[in-house]
Structures are given as structure tokens and as C-alpha cells.
Amino acid sequence: MSRFPRPDYQPLDLYAPDRRLVALDLSDNTNLWGAPGAALAAVQAADSDMLTRYPSLYADDLKNAIHQRYGVPLDSITTGCGSDDVLDSAFRAAGPEGGTVRFAGPTFSMIEPLALMNGRQAVEVPWSRALQSPRTLLEEDPVIVYVCRPNNPTGTSAPRSWLDKLLGAAGGSRGPLLIVDEAYADFAAETLLAEAPGIPNLLVTRTLSKAFGLAGFRVGFGVATPEVAREVEKSRGPFKVSSLSEKAAVAALQDEDDWAMRTIAECVAARERLFLALKERGLEPLRSCTNFILIPVPDGSARTWNDALRTYGVAVRPFPACPDVGDALRVTVAPWPMLERFLEALDSVLAEGQVPAPEAALAARVRNPG
């Protein structure tokens, strides 16, 4: 047998969503209000040493800024090149080797690849089943349990009471590593950040790519007990957050103007307005507590809708046969003038009959996504 590539890599393919340039890209869930002025100013003030020298080993300035903003202990923080880097490190750090990663799906599309990359088997549990009984995520003795809350791509959030049951059933230090991905928690009302340092085998991950508008800098972090944070840090390695990225992230977190909070409020208002506009057009969007909305469309038509919108210069993210939902489109919430352009394109696509008309049956679909 050939030693290259790894046999267990055979199911893997490159992560390659449609990235063709368009006039209006609503496909990535980034902050379309721009970036914090404080972060831009910090980067512009960088000197040559910041480019020629290695960054700090473990992003100490960033950890201090996270500690100051969220009140979590310094030794409970680990950082990375985006929250997916923290997830990758956690998948590598958890023991024993091999074993399974169980996750509630549909969810973040990188979870299965990250499991395979780290020699583990990924097992998806439909959200509808997981919500009925959180113990389904603990069946077959997994090494890692992953929950995205609020969830991507549905935009919904599992109830706190459900999460408490999962935490109670997981068994603490005797159980699997429980990862709660809070990439979109800045847009929601609940977070486990403050509690994570005191809960054994819990890792809460965050990103600055969404609410903080720093997707291009790739900065993420995790919060856990000091023991878990150290193991994740060990498996991640040094120098993962660049000097410029760290400087921008620190400025954004310490921004006295709190640009992030202002744009979050504007995003939430635009999200509710978009939800109503979609309902007026006969669609049945899912209620969201994130910076995007998932819109079910007739079965088998997600790519058709996506291609039709692209003819008008608008990109969204299609989800064919999304579990518990069916075919759907995910649309990033943006400043209202951008959303008006999206709605104009949507109206044109509907008027020209390029896509199957929204069906009354969409409202009757049985779906219980997390």
C-alpha cells in the first residue's frame, strides 16, 4: 500500500466553495459593515520590526486583551489563526488517539474534515434527534463532542436548558472533550465564556472574523480550564497569530468606541427587517440569532437559486439537501442598502421564473434545527 496519501484521507477533498468575484458577496458571514477603525489605525502604525521579527510565541498581548474584555483568567485562554485553528488543535490534543467526533448537524462544514485530518471518525447526529435527547451525542463513547451554538448554517441556538443537560451527562473530566463553538455568540444573548474556566473538559471557541470584522487577519481563541487550555496550546504550537493580526485584534477588543457592539446592533436590526421582507415574498426563513439567515427553498433547487442570483451579481451560499431543513440558501446580513440590492435581485429572479416558486409546503416542513 502506498504511504502517500494517507489511506484515511481518501474521503477528503479541498474546501472549495464558489469564490468567483461578484458585485455583492453575501456568502461568507463576515462583517459587511467593514473593520474597526481602531484596528486599521493600529496596523497602519506598525513598524518594520513587526514585519521582520517573529510574533510572540503564544500571543500574550492578545490574551491580555481577551482577559480584560471578557474577564476570563489568562491561563484559561488559548489562541489561534482563526477559531478553526483552535478546533484543529483541540481535535489533535484530545485523547485517546483515534476514536470518534460526534456532532449535531447540519453544522460548520469543516468539522468532518478536521476530524479526518486528525485521524478520527466523524459521526453526525441530526439536530432534531440531538435536541430530543442530548445523550445521543454521547453514544458510542466519543472522544470529542462538538456543538455549534448559535449554529451555522441554521442560525438557530439550542436552548440553555438543553446544553446544561448535555454538560451534566458528559461526565466532566471522565467524559469526552465537549467543544461549544461560539463563532456567532456575539450576535446572540448567551455565552458560556465566563463559566468555561470552571467546567472540566469544556472548550468554548470564539472568532474575531465575524462581529469584529477581522476575517482577513485570522484570529480566534478558546476558553477552558487551565489544564485543557494548556493541552490545546501545546498541540497548536508557537507563532500561530501573526504580529499584525495580534495588533489589530488587541485594538479591536480594546476599542473605546466599541465599533463591534455598534455594528452588532445595526446587524440585528437589519436581520429582523430582512426576515420580514423574505416572508413578504412567500419564503419561510428560519429565525436567526446570528449575522445570517437560512432560507429553505423547494427541494432540489438550491443550486438553481444560487446560479440565478449570480446572474445579478449576488453571491449567497447554497445548501442542497441540508439535514432537517432540505434545500436552502444562507444569506449574510449586511447594511440595508446591500440587502435592498439582494432583494431586487431576488425579485427579478422570481419574476422571470428562473427558479421554482416558493411553495406553501415550505412552511409545513418538519424541521427542528439546533
Percent of the chain with pLDDT over 70: 96
* Distance separating alpha carbons of residues 237 and 221, to the nearest angstrom: 14
* Distance separating alpha carbons of residues 275 and 277, to the nearest angstrom: 6
Same structural domain for residues 270 and 242? Answer: no
For 349-368, write each residue's pLDDT tens digit.
999 988 887 764 454 454 55
Q: 20: domain range?
A: 7-30+259-364
Domain endpoint, select from 206, 227, 253: 253
Q: Please give the average per-residue pLDDT across 236-255, as a whole number.
A: 97
Percent of the chain with pLDDT over 90: 86
Per-residue pLDDT band at 140 (split at 50, 70, 90): very high
Domain endpoint, select from 227, 253, 279: 253
Q: Is the peptide bond before 358 cis (omega within 30 degrees of 0)?
A: no
CATH number of the domain enclosing 332: 3.90.1150.10
Q: Is residue 22 situated within a structural domain? A: yes
Give the predicted TM-score (pTM) of the model: 0.95
Q: Please give the average per-residue pLDDT across 282-289, as a whole number.
A: 95
For 196-236, write each residue's pLDDT tens digit.
999 999 999 999 999 999 999 999 999 999 999 999 999 99
| Burial of 320: CB neighbours in 10 Å, binned 0-12, 13-18, 19+ | middle
Same structural domain for residues 197 and 302? Answer: no
Q: Is the peptide bond before 238 cis (omega within 30 degrees of 0)?
A: no
Q: Please give the average per-residue pLDDT across 153-168, as a whole number.
A: 97
How does DSSP assign 172-185, residue by residue? GGGSPEEEEE-TTG
What pLDDT sits at residue 366?
Answer: 42
CATH number of the domain enclosing 154: 3.40.640.10
For 291-344, write each residue's pLDDT tens digit.
999 999 998 999 999 999 999 999 999 999 999 999 999 999 999 999 999 999
